[in-house]
């Protein structure tokens, strides 16, 4: 009985496929248009799904993401009657936050520089390679890496406590020195291009190598300089001017 039912099902399915195939071949142009339309529709839906999934995954991999906050400046425009939010904050903000809210576990200043000139120096301090980085040069402190999960291949996050230390990503270390494993202890010269640090020049020692940056992060780190180096120490870290602001974020 069971065998007979199976035979009937096979025959029925075979007939269905034959009928469908004959219908498709009989109306070939119509079938091609419908199948192509269905394929395009499925492909577009998949692409949209992948784009949305990628965009919503930004910085979602940080283990402390639900405890991290970004400090912004709220600007009230009386003439227009509008309110806007800016990432620029006053220089004294980090110390002010620590004083006003001692319960904060970590406070991380972040300054993103632009249009920077970098030179690789030999053992005698002579430039041997020149590079131009439009973006990717950041100034921050070890607390940044206690908040965000960016793995370190070599060296120490804590080295950023000392001015003139720098962490490079694996790709940047290979770009500058050929082999990232030999980059620790090497020296680079940084000429900052940002407007507030115009023509500032710092000699930096490579003290760590970061793993490849994920594509889905807003922190496109390439070169991470110790906060307190150059003008970040002489201007930002020591400033008491709450009116002056620059492109500095605090989390």
Q: Which two tokens stand for residue 99?
A: 């004083």
Mean pLDDT of the 228-232 span: 84
**Residue 235 in this model has a pLDDT that exceeds 90:** no
Q: How confident is the model at residue 208, as a pLDDT?
A: 97
Q: What is the pLDDT of residue 9?
A: 67
Q: Is the pLDDT of residue 52 over 90?
A: yes
**Residue 154 pLDDT > 90:** yes
Tokens standing for residue 196: 């507030």
Least confident piece of the model among 8-12, 165-169, 220-224: 8-12
More reliable by pLDDT, 245 or 21: 21
Q: Indicate the average pLDDT of the chain.
A: 86
The larger pLDDT score, comparing residue 119 to residue 247, is at 119
Q: How far apart, in Å, do the first and last CA atoms of the chain sit?
A: 73
Question: pLDDT-based confidence at 26, cuts 50/70/90?
Answer: confident
Task: Assign 198 a pLDDT band (cuts: 50, 70, 90).
Answer: low
User: pLDDT tier at 93 (50, 70, 90 boundaries)?
Assistant: confident
pLDDT digits (tens, 9 = 90+) for 95-118: 889 899 999 999 999 988 888 999
- Over residues 48-74, the mean pLDDT reads 91
Confidence of residue 209 (pLDDT cuts 50, 70, 90): very high
DSSP string, the chain: -HHHHHHHHHHHHHHHHHHHHHHHHHTHHHHHHHHHHHHHHHHHHHHHHHHHHHHTTTTTT-TTGGG---B-EEEEETTTTEEEEES-EETTHHHHHHHH-TT-S---EEEEE-SEEEEEE-TTS-EEEEEEESS-EEEE-HHHHHHS---EEEE-GGGGGSTTEEEEEHHHHHHHHS-GGG-TT-EEEEE--SGGGTT-EEEEEEEEEEPPPPSS-S---SEEEETTSTHIIIIITT---SS-EESEEE-
Which of 15-19, 56-60, 158-162, 247-251 comes out lowest in average pLDDT?
247-251
Is pTM beyond 0.75? Reply is yes
User: Percent of the chain at pLDDT above 90?
Assistant: 51
**pLDDT, position 72:** 86
Identify the pLDDT of residue 24.
65
User: What confidence tier does 146 reach under pLDDT thresholds 50, 70, 90?
Assistant: very high
């Amino acid at each position: 009985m069971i065998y007979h039912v199976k035979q009937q099902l096979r025959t029925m399915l075979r007939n269905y496929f034959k009928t469908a195939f004959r219908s498709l071949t009989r109306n070939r142009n119509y079938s091609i248009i419908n199948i192509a339309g269905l394929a395009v529709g499925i492909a577009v839906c998949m692409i949209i799904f992948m784009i949305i999934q990628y965009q919503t995954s930004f910085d979602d991999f940080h283990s402390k993401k639900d405890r991290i906050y970004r400090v912004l400046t709220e600007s009230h425009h009386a003439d227009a009657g509008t309110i806007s939010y800016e990432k620029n904050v006053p220089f004294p903000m980090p110390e002010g936050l620590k004083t006003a809210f001692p319960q904060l576990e970590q406070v991380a200043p972040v300054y993103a520089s632009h249009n920077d000139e970098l030179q690789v120096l030999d053992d005698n301090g002579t430039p041997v390679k020149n590079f131009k980085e439009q973006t990717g040069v950041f100034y921050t402190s070890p607390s940044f890496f206690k908040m965000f999960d960016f793995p370190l291949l070599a060296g120490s996050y804590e080295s950023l406590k000392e001015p003139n230390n720098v962490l490079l990503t694996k790709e940047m270390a290979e770009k500058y020195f050929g082999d990232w494993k030999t980059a620790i202890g090497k020296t680079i010269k940084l000429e900052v291009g940002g407007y507030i640090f115009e023509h500032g020049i710092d000699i930096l020692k490579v003290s760590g190598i970061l793993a490849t940056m994920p594509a889905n992060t807003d922190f496109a780190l390439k070169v991470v300089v110790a906060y307190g180096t150059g003008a970040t120490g002489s201007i930002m870290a020591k400033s008491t001017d709450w009116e002056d602001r620059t492109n500095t974020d605090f989390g």
